[in-house]
Structure 1
Amino acid sequence: MRLRVATFNVENLIARHRFGTAARIETAAAMSLFEFSSKEHREAVERSVAVALEDDKRQMTALAIAEAHADILCLQEVDSLSVLEAFFANYVHRLADKRYGHFRLRHGNDVRGIDVACAMRRDLVAGPGAVRATSHAELTFRDLDVFDDDLAAMGRLETDRLFQRDCLMVDVDLGEATLTLFVCHFKSMSNGRDDGRIATRPLRRAEARAVRRLVEARFGPAVAEANWLIIGDLNGCEETIGPGARVIAEGESGLEPLTHGFAVNPLADLPAHERWTHFRRAWSESEGHIVERHMQLDYILLSPALAAASPAPEVEIVRRGLPYRVPLDPRQENRSLAALATSCDRYPRVGWDRPKASDHCPLVVGIDLPARRNPPQA
């Protein structure tokens, strides 16, 4: 059975124009230029700006989903089930050839209220009973025995919840076979600060260890023979790609419990200039200049059984929704404003920095699903 599975961080698909007291980055720039007579006046204008910008952005997000052409789509940074369903009804289904349903979302631990979610082709399964979702958001470091000295040094407690968002386990009965998805969104690198990657690595390492233990607990001794995927924005990488497609070793990512000898990352076999789903351009205090890096933050990790069944899986990364400031080919040496601004292969109305589909790319992997039924969940 052939399936196209995708992951996509859709960047704040939310019904709110603010995260508590913090303004969203999309509206903050324009709002900073104006003065308002009252807080109420400011909030009314901000809501109007947010709605207008959101419509442009979500048309592009929907285009990226349509281009991914996935049978199963895992998403990150979704506000609620109602927002997810409204987005598919009013944006995706006006553009895509496929029709999606079987939406699954459980509220997790993110302080902004953004969650992981899953959507599937309507005709992929027989009915709602064939898709079962289990949240692990309430598990603590102690529950899965992943607490260590590095976490203690960060001020974390054994009794704290370990997942920054969730690990949503989705069991799918496809008739002739079953598939289990572990949908994740790991701790971010603190918006790319120079020290953010290392400072937050203990949390990602704990999440990776926890996901591995959940997979092992789900399948027991048959873990290598089962059909499962670990999928989502894992926010870590052991390498980045610099200008000219120069590969830069970044050391430990925190994802090693998953990527070293447990699951298979199909992007690892791609040429260096293709192994990325995210781009960062920022000032580096330590280096004293602007640093540009392409990197893989989004993953579809295959079980050994799925990797063996798909020895050369089809891999696609949809990049046409990225803003013009992003060089789509890391081999490109000329990164002047003139060169980037005249690069084509973007969706209509994509801007220099915004609007855009997201700051991440949809990652799609085509797999051959063996006719095997995973053991029932205990």
Structure 2
Amino acid sequence: MRLAAFNVENLFARARAMNGEDWQDGRRILEDFARFNALIGKPAYSAADKRRMAELLEALGLGRADDAEYVRLRRNRGDFLRRPKGGGIEILAAGRAEWNGWLELEREPVDDVAMRLTARVIADVGADVLGVVEAESRPALKDFSERILPLEGADPYAGVMLIDGNDTRGIDCGVMLRDGFRLATMRSHVDDADAQGLVFSRDCPEFHIATPSGARLVLLVNHLKSKGFGAKRDSDAKRRRQAEAIARIYAALRAAGEDNVAIVGDLNDTPPADDDHPLAPLLRGTDLKDISVLPGHDDGGRPGTYGAGTAGNKIDYILLSPALQARLRGSGIFRRGMWPGLRPPKWDTYPEIDPRQGGKPHQAASDHAAIFADVDI
């Protein structure tokens, strides 16, 4: 069985802010979007909150109207703001209960080249069980499987499952299964909470998969809190809470007799070097092992799975329980769909995104590599 994980960065529709060539500007827009939506959820708005909301709306291009190039302000009921003739924005609502609405990202179809290359990566990796990160919906993922994969010479996946998580941007975690692999049961952890509130930024879906051999695989697909939004201290603390929660779920599965457990996805942090690291509860506090430290791993000379492929960009993982570690026959990183940089290109790519042939960064399948492991199960 080939098990793989791939952050596809939304297959059919992506936030317009992230479809351009200036990824830093797109990241700023997403950060402002997240900050604004966090502020409007407060029960009461302080004077400082109102000033900051007005500043963020201006920065997002909403100074004159509720529609801008990258975002749209939805105001369904109540008085939230007014725009004086002299310019600027005045927040009228005293708190969340006084109005109904939200800020949403404008979306547009992903570049056709990017979508085809996403399919080509999936076809070339050839996973029997594929954990998918940042897919917008099950219908979109199923449509992609049935319509786009065949264009790249691959059969559609027999099983596709994804449910909505906690992220309003539609970046959810799912699974795709080849014929012979069947989803027996699944469990969502979208409502899991600790003393500080909801744990998972998206979800930690738990897929129990029946394999052709009759064995059972439990797959947890994850996308942990990113480093890109909010203060580093807060982001690190959130990832640690998530790592602790995943470790608890894993321990419960093992206690219930599940030996074949894999945790895959974008953990948004590097491997821990000490017990204070956000991922330490999961990678140092359990008997799980990442494929990158096990025999037979081929990283192509670069340990990272994101961006430039450096050690500081090692953020995607396949973690295996001891029973799966014993059955591992090899693993690797597949980068041909990633943008390779310019001076010089850092790895071989598909011709469509080769910068020497006119390829552009926004046409890449993803800024993440696909990762895979071959396991006898």
TM-score by length of 1: 0.69
SS at match of 1:322: coil
Structure 2 residues not aligned, in runs of 5+: 27-60, 71-104, 354-358
1:141 matches 2:194: yes
Corresponding position: 1:298 with 2:316: yes
Residue of structure 2 equivalent to 1:7: 5
Q: Compared with structure 1, are the counterparts of its residues 203 and 322 closer, same or farther at alpha carbon in structure 2 (3 Å cutoff)?
A: same
Note the 1:153-302 alignment, pairs <5 A.
Answer: 157=196, 160-174=197-211, 176-190=214-228, 196=232, 198-220=233-255, 222=257, 226-238=259-271, 252-260=276-284, 261-269=286-294, 270=297, 273-279=301-307, 294-302=312-320
User: Would the aligned equivalents of 2:8 and 2:132 in 1 still touch at CA under 8 Å?
Assistant: yes
Instruction: Map 1:33-112; keep pairs closer than 5 Å.
Output: 50-51=108-109, 53-112=110-169
How far 1:83 moved relative to its partner? 0.6
Instruction: Mark the CA change 1:356 to 1:304 in structure 2 (over 3 Å): closer, same or farther.
Output: same
Name the CA distance, whole Å, in 2 between partners of 1:299 and 1:93.
27
Q: Secondary structure at the residue paired with 2:140?
A: helix
Q: Aligned Cα RMSD in Å? A: 3.3
Letter in 1 for 2:315: L
Cα distance per residue 1:244-279 (max 9 Å; x no partner):
xxxxx7985411122124201120245883422112
| Structure 1 residues 49 and 132: CA distance shift in structure 2, 3 A | closer
Deviation of 1:352 after TM superposition, in Å, equals 4.0
Partner of 1:339: 344
Secondary structure of 2:19's counterpart equals helix
| Equivalent position SS for 2:375 | strand
Identical-pair percentage: 29
* Counterparts of 2:189 and 2:228, CA distance in 1: 23
Ranges in structure 1 where 5+ consecutive residues have no aligned partner: 143-156, 240-248, 282-291, 326-336, 370-378
- Say which SS state the counterpart of residue 254 (structure 1) adopts: coil
User: Is the alpha carbon distance of 1:120 and 1:205 closer, same or farther for their aligned partners in structure 2, counting shifts above 3 Å?
Assistant: same
User: CA separation of 1:123/1:40 partners in 2, compared to 1, >3 Å: closer, same or farther?
Assistant: same
Question: What does residue 364 of structure 1 align with?
Answer: 372
Amino acid corresponding to residue 277 of structure 1 in structure 2: T
Relative distance call for 1:184 and 1:41 in structure 2 (3 A) is: closer
Task: Quote the offset at 1:347 in angstroms.
Answer: 0.9
Tell me, yes or no, if structure 1 residue 119 matches structure 2 residue 176: yes
1:346 deviates by 1.1
**Higher-RCO chain (CA-CA 8 Å, sequence separation at least 6):** 1
